[in-house]
Structure 1
C-alpha cells in the first residue's frame, strides 16, 4: 500500500511539473502580445509591433487587429493625432498581412496624404505598405508611382523596378536589371548581401525556366550564407538570426523546386519539407506565398513518385491568399492525381475548372480597373463595435492585472537566486564564448588549409590529364604515320607530333613542380631537345648543344610559345642545317629574364639561310608559326645570316 501511495505522489508531482512547464512555455509564446499590451506609450507599442521577430507566432493577425482597434478608438476619443496615425498604420499593416489589400490601401492612402507629419520610419512604413498592396492588386502603374516617391524622398531600399518586371512575367528583364542595379551596391566582404543577391538571381532564373543555371546561383547563395554564419566577428541580433533562417529556408525551397523541374523528386522532398516548416513562422506575405508554392511542388514530387495519399494530403490543404497561378497549378495536380487513380470524372472536373479560370483571365484588365474603385473607404465603428471594444478593454485590464500580480509573486521568490547566479552565469558565458571562438578559428583555419591543398591537387591533376591527353594525341599521330606511305605526309605528322610533345612537356613540368605558376626553363629545354632527338633518330645526336637558361623561370602563358618556338628551331637545325655531316655541328640557346625584360637567342653553325631560299623559307609553315608565336609574346623576330650559320633573336617582356 505504501508503495502505491509513493507512486501516486510521484505521479501528481510529475503532473504539476508538466503543468508548470507548459504554462511557462505558453507565457513565453505569448510574450510579444503581452509586451504590446503592457507597454503604455503609443510610440513604444509601435516599436513592439514592427520590430518584433514574429508577432504572429501565437496570436493571429485577427487577434492583433482586435487589440489595435481598441487602442485606436481610445486615441480617437482623446484626440491624440499622433497616436491615432500610428495605430492606423498598424491596422493598415495587419490588413495587408491578412490579404485584405483594398482595406489596407484605403488606410495607407489616408496616411500618405499626411506623411509629412510622420517621422522618417513611419513614413517609410506607409510607402512600403502601399507598395506591397499595389503589387498584390496588380496595379503596377500605381506601384511605380510609389517607387518614384521613394526616390524623391531619398529612400534607397526597394526603389528599382525589377520585381515589377517579374510580376509581369518578364523574368529575363527582371534579373538583368537586378544584376545591373543591385550587384554594384554590394561590397565584396558583405557575405549576407551576396547571399540575398544570388538567391534572388536564382529565383528569377528558375521562373525563366533555367533550372540548372538557377541551382548554380542558389548554391552560391548558400555558400555565402554559410560564410556569414561562420563569421565570428559579426554580432547578430535575434532579428538577424530569424531573417537568416528565413533566407536559408527560401534558398532550400528554390533549390528543391529546381530539382522537381529536373525530375529529381527524392532530392527535392526533404528540402521542401524543411523549407515549409521555417517559412510558416514568417509574417511576410511573400514568405507565406512561398509556403503555398513549396507545398504544391511537394505534392507534385510525391505524385510523380506515385505516393498518392501523401500528394492528396498536401493538395487538400487550406491556404490563405492563394493566387491565380497557384490555383491553376493545384487544379492541374488534382486532375493529374485523379487521372493516375483512374477517377476520370473528377479529373475532368478540375480540367474544366482550369479552363474557366483561364477564360476569366481575359477579363482581368477590366477587373483591375474596377478594383481601383474599391480602395476609397475605411471602416467606421458603430455602437456594437464600441460595446465590444469596451468589453475587450475590461477583459484585457483584468488579464493584465492578474499577470502583473503573478509576476510580482514569482519575482519575490527568485530575485535573490537570480542575483547570486548572475555573476557565475557571466563567467560561464565568457568561458564558453572563448572556447567557441577558439574552436571556430581552428575550424576555419583547417578549412582554408584543406582548400589550398585541394586546389593544388586539382591543378596538378588537371595538368597531368592535359599531358596525358596530349600524349594520346602524339600516339595517334604515330599510329597514323605507320599507316601512311606518303613521305611528305609522314614528315608533316612527325612535325605535328613534335609540337604536341613540346606542349605536353609544359604540363608535365607543371604537375611535377611544387610551384604550379612557373616553369624552370633550363630543365624544360633539355627535356624538349631530348624529345626532338627521339623524333629525328637519324640525325642530331653528334651536334654539340649549349643551353644557357639556368635560373630562368616563365609562366605557362610564355612557356608554351617558347617551347613551340624552340621545337621548330631545333627541328629545322636537325633537318636542314647539317646536310652532309653533323660532326662539328653546334647549337647555342640563350634565355634570360630580368624583371619585366627578357632576351632570347638561338644560333647554329650550319649552312644558314641563303637569299635564294629566303622566299621559300618565309612561306614555310615552321617559320610562319615562329613569327606568330613571337607576335604572341608581343615582340618581333630578328634573323641574322652569315657564312657560319644563322642566328634568331628577339626581346620580350
Structure 2
C-alpha cells in the first residue's frame, strides 16, 4: 500500500494529492464501520428473516455471506426450509429455496448439481418473478461458463435478451474462451465501442487494452503494440484528470489496468523476439501484480511471469529465469502448464541437464496427447453449434491449424528427445571406451528384448486373468438368472398364495445377487462396484417383480462416487432388496402417489454409513414380536452382522427409518 501511495503521489498534481488523502481517510473510516457491521452473524440474520421472500432477498443481497459460515452451513439450513415448504406445498417458497440451493451448489463448485436444480425452475416472469428469473439465467450462464459448455451459454444469453434482460449481455467473452479472438474482437468493438463516452478516458484505456490483447493473441503483435500504447496514453490522461472524482476502488483499478497494459506490451515484444525491450514492461507489471493482486489476477500473473522467465532464458540469464519459473505453482490452466513445462525443459536443456529436460518434454507430450484425444472433438462440436453453417469452413480451418500446430510441437519434442539420447550415448562411449561400450550395448539390447518378452507375457497373463474373471462373473450371473427363471416357472405352477409370495421374494433376492456379478463383469475394475448405478438397477429390478406397485413413488438415491467390494456389495444388495420390496408391498397400502423413499450410502476410508427411509404407514406395533418369525427381518439382521454392524430402526417419525454403520 505504501508503494501504491508513493506511485500515485509522483504522477498526480498537488490538488490531486490533497484530494487523494481526503478520499483515503474517508474510505478508511467507512471501512472501519463496515468491519464492525460484519461482526453480525449473517447466517443467523438469514434464519431470523420471516418469509421465504425475505430470506431470498437477504441471501442474494449479501455479497460476503461466507465470511463466518461456509456454503455448506448455509446449504444445511436451506435444505430444511425447502423440505418444510414442500410439506405444506408452498410452491412460491419452493421455487425461491431451490434457486438459493442452486446458487449454493455453484459456490461450492458442484456445477452439475447447480444446473440440475436451476433447470427445475420455470423460465417465466409471471411464475418466478422478474428478479429471481434474472438471477436464474445468470446462474445458468455462469455454470455453463465453468463447464465450458459454450453453445449452452450462448443460448442462455439469447434467452435473456428475449426476456428483456439486455443490460451487460454480450458474446465476445465466449468467443475469447474458445480461441476465436478475431471474432471476439469484432463483437467487442460492436458491443462496447459505441457505449464509451468521449470524455471517459479510463473507459477508452480499458477498450484499447482489450483490443490490443485480442490482436496479440491473434499474433498481430506490431498492431497490438499500437493499440496498447493508445491505452497507456488514455490511462495517463485519466490519472491526471482532477475534475473527475475517484474512489479508492477506482485508484486500484487504474493501478491494475496499468499493470495489464505493461504486461501485454511486454508479451508482444516477447512474441516479436525483442527480449530486451520486453523486460522493463514485464517487470513493471509483475511488481504491481505481486504486491496487490491477492489472487484476483492470478492468470495474468502466471502469464507475465512465464514471459519474463522466457525473455531471460533467451538472453542467457539462466539463474534469473529459473528463479521466476520456481515462483509458478498450482497452475490450473492446461496451456499455462504446457508453457511452464516447455520453459523448464528449455532451461535444463541449455544448462546441459538433459535427463531432467527429457522428463519435462515427455510431460508435455502426454498432456498434448490427452488434449488431442479429448478437447479437440468437444471444441469442434461447439464451434459448429455456435458459428453455424455459414462459418463452418472457418471452424474447420481453425481446427486444422490447431492440429498442424500440435503435430509440429510433437515433432519438436521428438527431435529434442532423440538429441538428448544421442548426447547420453556419446558420453557413455567417451567414459567406457569403444570395446566396453560395444559389450554393454549388446548386453543391454539382449536385456531389453528379454524384458520386453517378459513384459508381454505378464501383460497377456493379466489380460487372460481379467478375461477369465469376467467370464466367471458372467456365467455366475447367467446361472442365477436361470435360477430366477426356474422360480418364475414354479410360481406359475403353484396355487398357494403364500408359496407364490415366497417364490417371488426368493426370485428378487436371486436377481439382487445376479446384478452384482453383472456389474462386475461390465466394469474395467473387477475389484469394486460403483453403487449409485447398482442401486438404480436394483430398484428397477424390484419394480419389475412387483408390477402393480412402486412406480409412482419418488425415490432419491444419494450414493454418488461410493464404491464397495463384492464382500460388502452382496450383503448390502440383499438388505436393500428387502427394504425396497417391503416398501413397495406394505408402506403404501392405499396409494403411492405421494410416496417417497430416500437411500443414502457413503464410504469414507474404513468407515461407511447406510440410511433408508420412507414416508409410508410405518411398521406395526408388534414388529419386535414378529422379528423372530419374519424371514426378511432375520435375513437383514444376519446380513448386517456379516458387515460387522447392527441394524437400527426408528419408528417414531413419519414412515420408518433403518440405518447402520459398517466397515
TM-score range relative to shorter protein: 0.3 to 0.5
TM-score, structure 2 normalization: 0.44
TM-score, structure 1 normalization: 0.44
Q: Bigger relative contact order, structure 1 or 2, given CA contacts below 8 A and separation 6+?
A: 1
Larger Rg: 1 or 2?
A: 1
